[in-house]
Amino acid sequence: MSLDFKIIPSIDLRNGQCVRLVQGDFELTTRYDQDPLEIALQYQSEGAEFLHLVDLDGALTESPSQRSFIQNMVSKTNMRVQVGGGIRTVDQAKFYFDAGVDRIVLGSLAVQDPFAASQIIELFGPDRITLAFDFRQINGEIRPTAFAWKTDVALSPTELFGLYKDWEDLEFLCTDILQDGRLKGIRRDFYQELLQASGHNRIVVSGGAASREDITLARSMGLRGIILGKALLEKRISLQEALC
């Protein structure tokens, strides 16, 4: 496995519990009994370098809602943690960086208010920011969404990526909403279109990864990395296998 290709286990948090959604639908929530910190430490013991934490409550309310809980998790792990969910201001970003987070993830803000997102990027540096673009196919065309995937945005992928073309160290976490939470594998055509739209390979795959073959495909396409969430929790693939 290339050292440049990231395997990133993910934990979605709601009310301090580990959960998974299907296609971003909060009505289709699976809750896991294991403590989120225990899950994180298990991933760490299995060799994870990175961890992706999502504050789903924050994504719903458009403001971080589990900051203290996440701060505690970060303080007890040695992984490079990136956090997303409702981050919309400089102060919110600063809180997470002060807590030891390696990267913050800007989602709806980056889609709906590029000026505000750009200010945060300028202040903290593009190498500490990941932009989360969540895409849905509408009449065969890929379009971004915002606000926990409830709002469709009238921009093409090329237009959206173009808003941030000046920062070469930015990473982009791109979710295929159709595949999210379904364990049906990743779609080559979907990510090939995003590669063409972006003009670079700084794209991390999110949504549908369920096997070693998905990891191999993402790597062979030259993508930056892959998120593993439900596949690990449901034991479709082990982290040790993924990291090999």
The Cα–Cα gap between 133 and 97 comes to 21
Count the residues in the chain.
244
Burial 122-148 (b: 16+ CB within 10 A, else e): eebebebbbbbbbbbeeeeebbbbbeb
- Is there a catalytic annotation at residue 12? yes
The Cα–Cα gap between 109 and 133 comes to 10
Backbone angles phi, psi at 75, to 5 degrees: -65, -20
104: alpha, beta or left? (left if phi > 0; alpha if psi -120 to 50): beta
**Do 120 and 142 form a contact (C-beta atoms < 8 A)?**
no
- Active site (annotated) includes residue 98: no
Residues 98 and 74 sit within 8 Å (Cβ to Cβ): no
Distances (CA, A) of 109 to 70, 132, 135, 243: 20, 9, 15, 32
Per the residue annotation, which of 55, 134, 176, 180 is the catalytic one? 134
Q: Which of 12, 55, 57, 214 is catalytic?
A: 12
Give the torsion through C-alpha atoms of 37, 39, 44, 45, to 10 deg: 110
Catalytic residues: 12, 134
